[in-house]
């Protein structure tokens, strides 16, 4: 068996409330808790403002049997767990889907984005 200790990218296994989904690609996550904006005036940089932001997880899923767009759209209080090739586990708690989920027949994919108050990486 090959030694994968140097592998840092390439795979993502995703579950939502314990149900596995096929990840076709474009997995992303953001555990940031705040967004900062620099505040400048005519006399120089004054500092920054800071506002809370939701954590997010997004992925392009494969439109496989048992998956429906309606089920994705109905997600309002789910736990999203992803295991990455680099050994990290990303967990989103109490998440909901945002934006429209649209199935593409040419490659059987659906882009999905979840947001919530907490995304952690371990």
- Euclidean distance between CA atoms 81 and 16, whole angstroms: 6
91-119 pLDDT, tens digit each: 999 999 999 999 999 999 999 999 999 99
Residue 6 lies in a domain: no
Task: Judge whether 4 lies within some domain.
Answer: no
Work out how many domains the chain is built from and give that number: 1
5 found inside a domain = no
CATH number at residue 26: 2.40.30
Evaluate whether residue 2 is within a structural domain. Answer: no
Q: Is residue 107 part of a domain?
A: yes
Which pLDDT does position 3 carry in this prediction?
56
Q: Is 50 helix (H, G, I), strand (E, B) or coil?
A: strand
Per-residue confidence (pLDDT) for residue 26, from 0 to 100: 93
State residue 1's pLDDT score. Answer: 47
pLDDT at 2: 55
Q: Looking at residue 4, what is its pLDDT?
A: 60
Inside any domain, residue 1: no
In which domain, by residue range, is 92 found?
Answer: 12-121
For the chain, which residues score pLDDT lower than 70?
Answer: 1-4
- State pTM to two decimals: 0.90
């Amino acid at each position: 068996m090959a030694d994968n200790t140097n592998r840092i990218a390439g795979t993502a296994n995703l579950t939502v409330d314990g149900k596995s989904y096929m990840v076709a690609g474009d997995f992303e996550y953001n555990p940031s808790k705040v967004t900062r904006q620099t505040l400048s005036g005519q006399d120089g940089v004054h500092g920054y403002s800071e506002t809370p932001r939701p954590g997010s997880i997004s992925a392009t899923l494969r439109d496989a049997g048992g998956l429906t767009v309606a089920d994705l759209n109905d997600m309002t209080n789910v736990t999203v767990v992803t295991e990455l090739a680099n050994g990290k586990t990303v967990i989103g708690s109490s998440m909901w889907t945002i934006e429209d989920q649209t199935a593409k027949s040419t490659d059987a994919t659906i882009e999905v984005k979840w947001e919530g108050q907490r995304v952690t990486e371990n």
